[in-house]
Structure 1
Amino acid sequence: MKDYQPVAGAAHQELAHDSAIKHVTGRAEYTDDIAEPVGTLHAYLGVSGETHARILSMDLSEVRRARGVVDVLTADDIPGVNDISPNGNDDEPVFPKELVEYHGQPIFAVIAETRDAARRAAELAKVEYETRPHALDPVAAEAAGMPMVTTPLKLERGDVAEGFGASARRISGRMTVGGQDHMYLEGQVSFAIPGEDEDVIVHCSTQHPSEAQHMVAHVLGIPSHSVTVNVRRMGGGFGGKESQMTIFACVAAMAAKRLNRPVKIRPDRDQDMTATGKRHDFVIDYEVGFGDDGRVQAVEGKFAARCGYSSDLSGPVTDRALFHADNAYYYPHVRLVSRPQKTNTVSNTAFRGFGGPQGVIVAERMMEEIAYALGMDPLDVRLANLYGETGDGRNLTPYHQEVKDNISRRIISEVEAGSDYRARRAEIMAENAKGGVIRRGIALTPVKFGISFTKTSYNQAGSLIHVYADGSIQLNHGGTEMGQGLNTKVAQVVAEAFQVDIGRIKITRTTTEKVPNTSATAASSGSDLNGMAALDAAEQIKSRLVQFAAAKWNVGETEIEFLPNSVRIGAEVMPFDRLIAEAYTARVHLSAAGFYKTPKIHWDRAAGQGRPFYYYAYGAACSEVAVDTLTGEYRIERSDVLHDVGRSLNPAIDRGQVEGAFVQGVGWLTTEELWWDDKGRLRTHAPSTYKIPLASDRPRQFNVKLADWSENREMTIKRSKAVGEPPFMLGISVFEAISMAVASVADYRECPRLDAPATPERVLMAVHRLKSGG
């Protein structure tokens, strides 16, 4: 029997990530680290050199003759259905037959003895095209009459015309919000091993093993039961491995079954960035009516998104942008519409926040517009428009869900006091009034973020727990570990349920063989769903143990209590191991499959009404920046963050998530610029041309706290709240602070209307425009 270390395993403890030591020592095994069997082949994608064109001919003879090449796969070689659209829209082929719709679209795959041989051979294809006009952004695509990739959504409440009519002031504007590449440390990779009959095992870096399983089966023309997808861990995902891994899994599996040899595919970073979707770019037209007190009366918004050539997840992403266009603010009269626009670019996809950040930033832009128009502190405008408490008539969202758990005002108040916002803002304004090259800005922005998949059926999870005869425990669940600490949190839940040390629990890889039909690890729901499913399984086993012990030792079930590494049965306390051994001998079933589905949620998309979210998570951040008005460069001097995670399952992990989300949000709004040339080629396709934040870009003073007084009012796992996505939006405080610094050059008379990302070039142009009065 293993000598378990006496580590407290209960939930709410600050335990290290279960793989932390493996991460820093290089012993953590990723898909590309799996030992390759003898005979393993390697695949690489051949891609389109045109942005929108009909394929006239494709000569792959030189590719086939190239050194080391074993096979070449095209659309004609697909044994099942040539479609990998995650929503069943039949608009996303593995390989197109006749029409390419973006530059870099995969059109064939090379299978070779080495990855280098496959990569070099893919360049030898000779393809003739008949080019067609292309449109790259949503405005150009709409002007060209291109269709939308999915049905748009409208959210409406109140009477917008009446609201504008009653408004003392009105402002309209347009904001362009850029996209973002996921830039995960571990790129896309899949490794397929053929089995007997129709079987194939796919090791894949994916957030959604069940979708990979179903898509591979779909493309191969076999039942899902013949496909096993395994995921031990990912080196980051952020939504980029929710649906975008499918083509890699399918190509590896097709080749493996066709050649009856293991096949691995791992694109280089350039191809990873050009062939996979990103955060959606938005062009948002907004109009806001408000009074002289700064209170909003009416809002109207049109949210046009660059979706790419296929629908992918653009429907729910653009839906969620509307869901969060209110952020923390009450709009008495509101109408919001989405326009998920088809474009000749790679199909955009899920990204941390899933459209929510694009909605939130427009809410903050409107608060900023009102503040400049009235000469008010933007924080006062924000406070004036916050959702109220239940019963005051100011707590109904545009989608008709009541906000019943609002703690925004307390969160903001604590950040305002802790950051000394008022005094610092006064000092900054006095300093800016002296003129000079360096201008400073400060902003305090909140977030209210709804938690749940907006597609109700995705809000379910399963788990499987085995208690072995020696008292050790194996835990499996449908969530995937991408560095966020999900496995550690779920293990803590199980350890607390059994009252055992966490070292007793073995967390195994996610696999479709153990827990079927799982949802993606996304929407910040990993701990909520899988934690509850694991708790359900643990409680089933505990119930059997209690019934067994009560009968064997002739005591009432209420006289049985699980204690740390032991169990009290009447007056006797015995080690947990002994009880398990006794139960095994008595043929007690020591395994259980757990299940959970989120209660209370419902959504009628056609009506634009319902309760899509189980609860809300809240937060606020105050950031100060310094801007060089001669170059447009800036740095973050200080950020104070307070975030609500309910009763944290693991405060250390949650703080790490808040810190990482904040910095990633700042990157989206400042340095991470995606740029296509006029021929439709993505030019920011590698770390050399696409700038993510460095350690030197973090706030020089970075104060991050959790609202340790908060507790989820809904019955979530241990009263915790989700943490993955909500703090991402707190990076908006940096964007707003930059805007204030820029506005100072014109004495704050005008909103700078910065587009995102606010690169130094954009900042410099805004400074010149305001100085010139243009």
Structure 2
Amino acid sequence: MSQHRPRSKTSISGGAHTTRAHDSAHKHVTGSADYIDDMPEPEGTLHGYLGLSDRAHAKITSLDLDPVRASDGVVLVLTGADVPGVNDISPSGRNDEPVLAENEVLFHGQPVFAVIARTRDQARRAARKAKIGYEDLAHVTDVRDAIDAGYPHVTDPLKLERGDVAAGLAAAPRRLKGAIRIGGQDHFYLEGHIAMAIPGEDDEVTVWSSTQHPSEVQHMVAHALGTVSNAVTVQVRRMGGGFGGKETQSNQFAAIAAIAAKKLNRAVKIRPDRDDDMTITGKRHDFVADYDVGFDDSGVIQALDATFAARCGFSSDLSGPVTDRALFHADNCYFYENVRLVSKPMMTNTVSNTAFRGFGGPQGMLGGERVIEEVAYALGRDPLEIRKANFYGGPGRDLTPYHQTVNDNIIARVVEELEVSTDYQARRAEIIDFNETSPVVRRGIALTPVKFGISFTATWYNQAGALVHVYQDGSIHLNHGGTEMGQGLNTKVAQVLAEEFQVDLDTIRITATTTGKVPNTSATAASSGTDLNGMAAANAAQQIKTRLIGFASEKFGVPPEQVEFIPNHVRVGNELFPFPDFIKLAYQGRIQLSAAGFYKTPDIHWDRAKGKGRPFYYYAYGAAVSEVSVDTLTGEYQVDRVDVLHDVGRSLNPALDIGQIEGAFVQGMGWLTTEELWWDDKGRLRTHAPSTYKIPLASDRPRIFNVRLADWSENREPTVRRSKAVGEPPFMLPISVLEALGMAVASIADYRISPRLDAPATPERVLMAVERLKAMAEPLDEAG
């Protein structure tokens, strides 16, 4: 203990609002970061593999697994009948997603049985020897075909409505109708799905799972085993990417590994090949958006009636909230005086689609931006003018279709600042001049905005817990309910904790997420990981600090306000103690140095039946300017330049935030330009490997890529250190790339015709759009 006042640093190292490297960055680069497949396997570990259906829709008439059982190394073969509990892992509770299919298969590649063998290769080879008899049934894979065939909804549709849409459309001076097809997307995480289950005493089992939702895996494994949740412990140190694909899709692998582990009393690991992983697991939902819009001669939208139909797959999964969120974001930054938005979550004979970064928001926003583009081309105006004319404004123009008031609106400032800083107007004029004289290469430019609501729309998910221990030597242990998938969540939460205790970041050790320490966790999704878990960790720290302040006040006879945590020290009256020395004193004084923190997002509510409420705590804003060049003879193109200005409030870690924006932009650009899912007429997914599914390469990146944070922004809500979420909102910034491609194509017809590019705008689609506009322009030219 120090009885004098030593010199202390004026600030801590690595607190909130400072740039710090990702806590595992050096491990990622050197290959020393441990993922589940890197962990030492317990003695006698067995390996699983799944046997898949080769029909899109059929009754199972026979199932001969004897050749599988007779294969080398096979120890066990599991079918749906072997599930000891309930053969269902549906996250929606609709009992529509079996662990292993029985009697009927509903998509090509649906797991029918599982093989457990001494080696993974043996299990993989044995799985191919099954003899399955089928009675084929009719199937559909396309959204329009599902509607025409009278396929059911997988969950209840949603309708958002405000004003009188019919009257608004009838009274509008101008009106047009259209549709856009919006493609899905594979998550293409670097680490595929994997689970390892280790049996324990009685009904206990520990599962290492690559999941964004440990508590759901815990509950689903218990459900399948026929036991209770406290018998199952789920652990996650890190994932090699998730993007929403590991929110629910991990359940199946974890359940099968756990069932086999308990049956055999041996550790079991299961990891599919990339091809099977892409076939078995859900994607981003494909959408078809139909719209009817009325507007005036200045481009102000007076009424919008739109339907968003989605390819949901064979089961409900998360299609309800995904299609809901599509409607929540169809307005983007725009006020619709009269509006009706309806979802159609369609069942199809495809893998059940699931969460993906943006969770339906990108599809809804793209539909809304298509409406803006249509109005602009109909009026012969710059789409940016139409965007500005329809921005949310003050009272009377600040109510969303779901009746939430937009009271933190900064989009006009963001757009104006980006427009000026990038010299958008002069560049657009120069591009138009270029296109007039360029016979082959055409260029385009677009500036698009983003307004993205932050919170789970399932209100009960907006809660988090954290466990904080302060040890006698002053070192700190942190565990929280969020999962680390490369986004830097652990680093940010540790920074928040360091700021609370005023200690250096390296004082804090973050441990693997586990349901045994923090129960009932929400998924790390909806961009809320830092918002929720950071506040929970801060709450735990505040509990401990309150006890420490009370202890110091009583022991040293000073008022509580004279106990202060300063960088790596605690000041008590006129005495200054190094943090470890003070903690040692508190321990000797029998002060509890551990706390379970908790946080729930305040002031949010949602009535789905009425389509009204405040589902979002706040909005994150951003804008991007993208410039492209298109070869009109081949449809090939490149992104020449991108400028982004994005709002993250008071950034907790600018380097991590910029990294998230850059990554989201490139991933979103892939969704809109190159990543295409394709099913053949037999219902088989043909784009199930890197050879047939094109994610963006390094050569696809914008040639010039400038990203800035709106450093003047501060969250008006009391979020963690007044920051804003950054995971999902920037994913929609590359809508500007699609719109810029549209402008380049529209130049073929002198910008008189809306290009109506569907997504993804592959070179083939761009070329077909060029040819279509050429054909449409000829009659216009002949008419003068």
TM range (shorter): over 0.9
| Aligned equivalent of 1:458 | 461
Q: Which moved more, 1:671-680 or 1:136-145?
A: 136-145
The question of 1:543 aligning with 2:577 is answered no
Instruction: Check whether the contact 1:7–1:503 (CA below 8 A) recurs between aligned residues.
Output: no
- Separation (CA, whole Å) in 2 of partners of 1:731 and 1:192: 40
Q: Does 1:409 align with 2:426?
A: no
What residue number does 1:213 align with? 218
1:257-288 Cα distance to aligned partner (Å, 9 max, x none): 00000000000000000000000000110111
Q: In 2, Cα distance between the equivalents of 1:576 and 1:694?
A: 48
Q: Which amino acid aligns with 2:776?
A: G
Q: What is the distance in 1 between the residues matched to 2:15 and 2:571?
A: 18
Match of 1:563 in 2: 566
Residue identity opposite 2:774 in structure 1: K
Report 1:437-516 matches (<5 A): 437-516=440-519
Q: Indicate the SS of the match to 1:622.
A: strand
Give the whole-Å Cα distance in 2 for the aligned partners of 1:9 and 1:245: 34
Q: How does 1:654-673 map to 2 (within 5 A)?
A: 654-673=657-676
Could you say which residue in structure 2 is the equivalent of 1:521?
A: 524
Out of 761, 764, 771, the position equivalent to 1:761 is: 764
Equivalent residue for 1:735, pick from 725, 735, 738 = 738
Shift of 1:131: 0.2
The residue that corresponds to 1:52 in the other structure is 57
Tell me how far apart the structure 2 counterparts of residues 286 and 11 of structure 1 sit (CA, whole Å). 45
Aligned to 1:192: 197
**Residues in 1 aligned to 2:446 and 2:699: alpha-carbon distance in whole angstroms:** 21
Could you tell me which runs of 5 or more consecutive residues in structure 2 were left unpaired when the two chains were aligned: 2-7, 778-784
For 1:280, the equivalent position in structure 2 comes to: 285
Alignment of 1:147-162 (within 5 A): 147-162=152-167
Letter in 1 for 2:259: M
How far residue 137 of structure 1 moved from its aligned partner, in angstroms, is 1.2
Q: What residue is the counterpart of 1:103 in the other structure? A: 108
How many Å separate the matches in 2 of 1:143 and 1:76? Answer: 35
Aligned to 1:584: 587
Cα pair 2:12 2:502 within 8 Å, conserved: no
- Contact 2:15 2:499 (C-alpha < 8 Å) held by counterparts: yes
Contact 1:443–1:622, Cα closer than 8 Å, also in 2 = yes
Deviations 1:418-438, CA, capped at 9 Å, x for gaps: 111000000000010113110
Quote the residue 1:387 is aligned against.
392
**Would you say 1:77 and 2:82 are equivalent positions?**
yes
2:607 counterpart residue number: 604
Deviations 1:28-64 (A, max 9, x none): 1111111001100000000001000000000000000
- Structure 2 matches for 1:582-661, cutoff 5 A? 582-661=585-664
Q: Which residue of 2 aligns with 1:67?
A: 72
Counterparts of 1:302 and 1:500, CA distance in 2: 53
Matches of 2:379 and 2:457, distance apart in 1: 37
Question: Distance between the aligned counterparts of 1:242 and 1:362, measured in 2?
Answer: 25
Give the whole-Å Cα distance in 2 for the aligned partners of 1:59 and 1:37: 32
**Distance in 1 between the 2:345 and 2:776 partners?**
35
Q: Which residue of 2 aligns with 1:124?
A: 129
The question of whether the paired residues in 2 share the 8 Å contact of 1:9 and 1:499 is answered with no
- 2:29 is matched with 24
| 1:295-334 pair list within 5 angstroms | 295-334=300-339
Once the 2 structures are TM-superposed, how far is the Cα of residue 343 of structure 1 from its aligned partner?
0.2
Counterpart of 1:745 in structure 2 is 748
Q: How does 1:216-235 map to 2 (within 5 A)?
A: 216-235=221-240
In 2, Cα distance between equivalents of 1:121 and 1:262: 20
Distance in 1, Cα, partners of 2:470 & 2:371 = 55
Which whole-Å CA distance do the structure 1 matches of 2:776 and 2:604 have between them? Answer: 50
| Contact 2:12 2:567 survives alignment (8 Å) | no
Alpha-carbon separation, structure 1, partners of 2:368 and 2:154:
25
Question: Aligned partners of 2:357 and 2:33: how far apart in 1?
Answer: 24
Deviation at 1:97, TM superposition (A): 1.2
Partners of 1:189 and 1:669 lie apart in 2 by: 29
Identity, % of aligned positions: 70
Aligned with residue 35 of structure 1, among 40, 57, 74: 40
Distance 1:188 1:413 in 2: 43
How far has the Cα of 1:145 moved from its partner? 1.1
Q: 1:156-171 alignment to 2 at 5 Å?
A: 156-171=161-176
Partner of residue 422 from structure 1, selected from 420, 425, 446:
425
Cα separation, 2, equivalents of 1:50 and 1:82: 21
CA contact (8 A) 2:12 2:503 kept: no
CA contact (8 A) 2:12 2:568 kept: no
Q: Secondary structure at the match of 2:116?
A: strand
Q: Distance in 2 between matches of 1:34 and 1:10?
A: 32
Give the whole-Å Cα distance in 2 for the aligned partners of 1:166 and 1:658. 42
**Does the CA contact (< 8 Å) of 2:86 and 2:223 recur in 1?**
yes
* Match in the other structure for 2:4: none
Q: Is the counterpart of residue 259 in structure 1 residue 259 in structure 2?
A: no
Mapped partners of 1:150, 1:633: distance in 2: 40
- Counterpart Cα distance in 2 of 1:759 and 1:184: 22
Whole-Å separation in 2 of the counterparts to 1:424 and 1:112: 63
Partner letter of residue 161 of structure 1?
Answer: A
Q: 1:66-118: CA deviations, max 9, x gaps?
A: 00111000011000000000011000001121010000000000000000000
Deviations 1:371-398 (A, max 9, x none): 1110101100000000003x2x100000
Cα distance, 1:305 vs structure 2: 0.3
Task: Give secondary structure in 2 for the equivalent of 1:130.
Answer: strand
TM-score normalised by the chain length of structure 1: 0.99
- For 2:244, which of 229, 239, 248 is the aligned residue? 239
SS in 2 for 1:255: helix
User: Partners of 2:627 and 2:187 in 1: how far apart?
Assistant: 26
Amino acid at match of 1:618: Y
Aligned equivalents of 1:445 and 1:592: distance in 2? 45
In 2, are the aligned partners of 1:463 and 1:534 still within 8 Å (CA)? yes
- Deviation of 1:7 after TM superposition, in Å, equals 6.3
| Amino acid in structure 2 at the alignment position of 1:752 | P
1:624 touches 1:638 (CA, 8 Å); kept in 2? yes
Write the letter of the residue equivalent to 2:322: V
Distance (Å, rounded) in 1 between the aligned partners of 2:151 and 2:441: 45
Distance (Å, rounded) in 2 between the aligned partners of 1:425 and 1:138 = 37
Tell me the residue number matched to 2:684: 681
In the TM superposition, what is the alpha-carbon distance from 1:720 to its structure 2 partner?
0.3
Query: Take 2:143 and 2:758, find their aligned partners in 1: how far apart are those partners?
Result: 15
Q: What TM-score do you get using the length of structure 2 for normalisation? A: 0.98
Preserved contact between residue 328 and residue 448 of structure 1 (Cα < 8 Å): yes
CA deviation map 1:720-770 (0-9, x unaligned): 000000000001000000000000011111001010000000000000011
- Return the alpha-carbon distance in structure 2 between the equivalents of residues 739 and 352 of structure 1: 24
Alignment match of 2:144 (pick from 127, 130, 139) = 139
Is 1:701–2:709 an aligned residue pair?
no
After the TM superposition, which residues 325-364 of structure 1 pair with which residues of structure 2 at under 5 Å, given as runs? 325-364=330-369
Q: What letter corresponds to residue 119 of structure 2 in structure 1? A: T
- Secondary structure at the aligned position of 1:687 is classed as coil
CA-to-aligned-CA distance 1:667-712 (integer Å, 9 cap, x gap) = 0000000000000000000011000001111100000000000000
Q: Distance in 2 between matches of 1:258 and 1:126?
A: 24
